[in-house]
Amino acid sequence: MNKRIELLKETFPKYELDGVVVNPGASLRWLTGLGFHLMERPVVIYLGKEGKPLIIMPELELAKLKGMEDELEVHPFGDDPSTWQGVFTEALGTSQGKDLRIGVEPTSLRLLEMNLLQNALPDAHFVDASAAFAEMRMIKDEQELAKMRKAAEIAEAALLETLRTVRVGQTEKEIASELVIQLYRHGSDTDLPFAPIVSSGPNSANPHASPSERRLQAGDVLLFDWGAGFEGYFSDITRSFFVDYVDERLVEAAEAVQRANYYGVAAVRPGMAAGEIDAAARDEIEESGFGIYFTHRTGHGLGMEAHEAPYIFSGNPLILKEGMVFTIEPGIYIPEIGGIRIEDNVVVTRDGFNCLTSLPREVETIERYLELMDFFGGLA
């Protein structure tokens, strides 16, 4: 924790910050290792330029701080909301009356915490510090990468077991339920990166479809977008399958997506712009005549959140660095017919890239896919 706190403090001059406020979420876990969930009671950590971090939190959660009492200045409060403002004001007393720039994450901090903070520090200016947190969290160390590799292994093993149970006539919800069971059986954290997407037939043309009561039919595409968690870090993978015969356009689309995935992954290297990765995948789909059906960015960062920096979109000038992890997930979605997506998790290395995911990218029937996996001895 102390190392990460010092790293964050080192970014303060660059972003003209006098301090930061963090509430429950990935950045708080990354910074301190503490896991809190958002609830009706606020939890806030304030980190200034000097001194140790202070935490304002419910009394009932104090057991989570066991062994950390010397590293944090603790300000607990009880269940009566009328007392909370007083605790916030007292805790932040040394910062009152100062013209401070305090960084927050606008996608995380709620009005509940914001009101308490502004009332306690009326002279402070609360500003967007997303870039400071992204700068720290984008670069994964070896321990983080090891957890993400394990999350990918768990997810892939769970899918293979699920595929062996898939039958025509099952609903998307039934298939998704089996996948969740297999994720937990294979060792996933209870917190998944997101509820798995299992979509079939025309539903697969919706990139973020939710599993429905639609029953699997011969001639469908069956798309899985799923991931696992391991010690707080996530995987996020997509594979697509044919259920017997399919529309010839979907065969062509699958071939185009497979090539786009290959070119997008192969292009990864340190020193290039994130937008160049998007172009490598998107150009292939454009040249295949399916450009209007590729309706989202090529990828997004991955780590303690399913979606975090860096984002792989057209024109993004962000320079890739060793240790960054993101998805490559080109897709083609033809309304009323179906969609194909292939998604891998990639880490930038000193000389290029490594894939954290290893399942074959080929779009095959489920039976053929499992035959290939069995022939080659399963997962690497």
How far is 330 from 238, CA to CA, in rounded Å? 10
Scored b (16 or more CB within 10 A) or e, 74-86 reads: ebebeeeeeebee
* Cut 0.85: pTM above it: yes
Domain locations in the chain as residue ranges = 2-137, 142-375
Cα 196 to Cα 48: distance, rounded to the nearest angstrom: 39
> What dotted CATH number matches 2-137?
3.40.350.10
CATH of the structural domain 142-375, one choice from 3.40.50.20, 3.40.50.300, 3.90.230.10, 3.20.20.150: 3.90.230.10
Tokens 């990639």 belong to: 346
pLDDT of 207 strictly over 70: yes
pLDDT band at 375 (very low <50, low <70, confident <90, very high): confident
Give me the pLDDT at residue 20, please: 97
For residue range 126-139, list pLDDT tens digits in order: 999 999 999 999 99
Distances (CA, A) of 261 to 125, 176, 223, 337: 44, 24, 16, 21
Confidence tier at 379 by pLDDT (50, 70, 90):
low
pLDDT, one tens digit per residue, over 161-201 is 999 999 999 999 999 999 999 999 999 999 999 999 999 99
CB 153 within 8 A of CB 24: no
Distance CA 232, CA 189 (A): 7
Structure confidence at residue 380 (pLDDT): 52
Lowest-confidence segment of 63-72, 98-107, 282-291, 297-306 by average pLDDT: 63-72
Task: Dihedral sign for Cα 38, 43, 47, 53, please.
Answer: negative
Give the angle 11-55-63 at the CA atoms, nearest 5°.
130
Q: How confident is the model at residue 65 (pLDDT cuts 50, 70, 90)?
A: very high
Best CA proximity match to 138, nearest among 357, 353, 356, 347: 347
Read off the pLDDT band of 69 (50, 70, 90): confident
